[in-house]
Amino acid sequence: MATMSKGRIGEFMARQGILVAFVLFIIGFTLANQRFVDPDNILGVIRSSAILGVMALGVTFVVISGNLDLSVGSMMSFSTIVVLDLHDTLGPLLAIVAMFALTLCLGAIIGFLVGYLKLNSLIVTLGMLSAIHGLTLTWSGGQNMDIADKEGTWFSVFGQGSALGIPVPILLFLGLAALLGIVLAKTPFGRKVYAVGGNGTAATFSGIHRARVVFLCYLMSSFCVATAGLIQASRSLGSQNTVGQGLELEVLAAIILGGASLLGGSGTIFKTVIGVLILGFIQNGLLLVGLQFYVQYVVTWVIIILAVWLDIAAKRGKLWSPIA
């Protein structure tokens, strides 16, 4: 009986341990600083997490399909710089259209290499991380970008506007999450994504065009990155050319925190949203208790290790595995 109870506790912690840890974080941060549960602070956290969240929505499709995308950080920098640079020459609307088109082209290249040429997604996207960073620096000439007429443009609505008292970045994040959640959970394409990630060989033999599914997943990821770049660019109407550097790790951390497996075949958009919020509230809590911002990097690393450990533990049904 004791062994059975211990096993159930271990299985529960393997599957829900990160939520238990999150609750403990919330209690601790609230006791340390009452501002943590202030409505304005909560709304601010969700707003600041919107860019990371939008990126994570697209990468969720990639991870569920059994692949990785480490290029999203540099791709976000590229999209942000491009739309800011083209704003003054083409105008806001054409700049947005051109930025989305160029970003989707980058996603199509990755999707072709991973999906149709069947190259390793880790190697391809790691290489594209450097390539896109170089492209961003080339486009900007190594300079940061700013919009000349910051007072006379409607472009700021995406990052600074609000509707019904809710900031537009939150509306974009939650609206896109609802749409992609339906696509993943309720459409044939969503079922194909799960099938490809769960067992690619079996999916192919059952008539699913694996290469096309992977290609579309990367295209969807690049669309979400472009949306995040749009929010980032319109937030301050200017940006550094390295604004997305390092975000790829935070995106993966949020997705894995939400329960998606690095092995593919599992995960949901809803849980990814929860993972993004967990990461955002933990980082906010660290700042409110007086820790410096760079401590967040250490905490993010710990969270990634913990999430991967719990993911593997959930697969084998226990937290610890004896050495064979």
pLDDT tens digits, 66-91: 999 999 999 999 999 999 999 989 99
Instruction: Please state the rounded mean pLDDT for residues 216-220.
Output: 97
Rounded to the nearest 5 percent, the helix, strand and coil shares of the chain are 75, 0, 20
pLDDT digits 0-9 by tens, 222-281 = 999 999 999 999 998 988 989 998 899 889 988 988 878 888 888 899 889 988 988 888
Provide the residue type at 37 as one letter.
V
Q: How much is the CA Rg of the chain, to the nearest whole Å?
A: 20
pLDDT of residue 276: 92
Query: Taking the model in full, what pTM does it have?
Result: 0.87
Token pair for 73: 């950080």
Q: What is the largest CA-CA distance in the chain?
A: 73
Q: Are 54 and 226 in contact (CB under 8 A)?
A: no
Burial (CB count within 10 angstroms: exposed 0-12, middle 13-18, buried 19+), residue 258: buried
pLDDT of residue 324: 45
pLDDT of residue 112: 97
Q: Are 231 and 36 in contact (CB under 8 A)?
A: no
Q: Where are the beta strands (DSSP E) in the chain?
A: 145-146, 162-163, 166-167, 238-239
3-state secondary structure of 182: helix
Q: Tell me what percent of the residues of the chain surpass a pLDDT of 70.
A: 87
pLDDT of residue 58 exceeding 70, the answer is yes
Tokens 């409607």 sit on residue: 154
Distance CA 145, CA 205 (A): 49
pLDDT of residue 6: 56
Q: Which residue has the higher pLDDT, 142 or 9?
A: 142
Tokens 């990126």 sit on residue: 55
pLDDT of residue 1: 53
Q: Are 221 and 194 in contact (CB under 8 A)?
A: no
Q: Nearest 10 degrees: CA dihedral of 304, 12, 194, 221?
A: -30
pLDDT of residue 253: 85
Phi/psi at 146 (5° precision): -145, 150
Distance CA 83, CA 93 (A): 10
pLDDT of residue 137 exceeding 90, the answer is yes
**Helix extents (H) in 187-291:** 188-198, 200-205, 210-236, 247-257, 269-288
Burial (CB count within 10 angstroms: exposed 0-12, middle 13-18, buried 19+), residue 311: buried
Instruction: Please state the rounded mean pLDDT for residues 285-297.
Output: 76
Distance CA 184, CA 287 (A): 35
pLDDT digits 0-9 by tens, 190-205 = 999 999 999 988 998 8
Distance CA 244, CA 164 (A): 29
pLDDT of residue 313: 66
- Residue-averaged pLDDT of the chain: 87
Domain boundaries, given as residue ranges, for the chain: 45-147+154-245
pLDDT of residue 182: 96
pLDDT of residue 18 exceeding 70, the answer is no
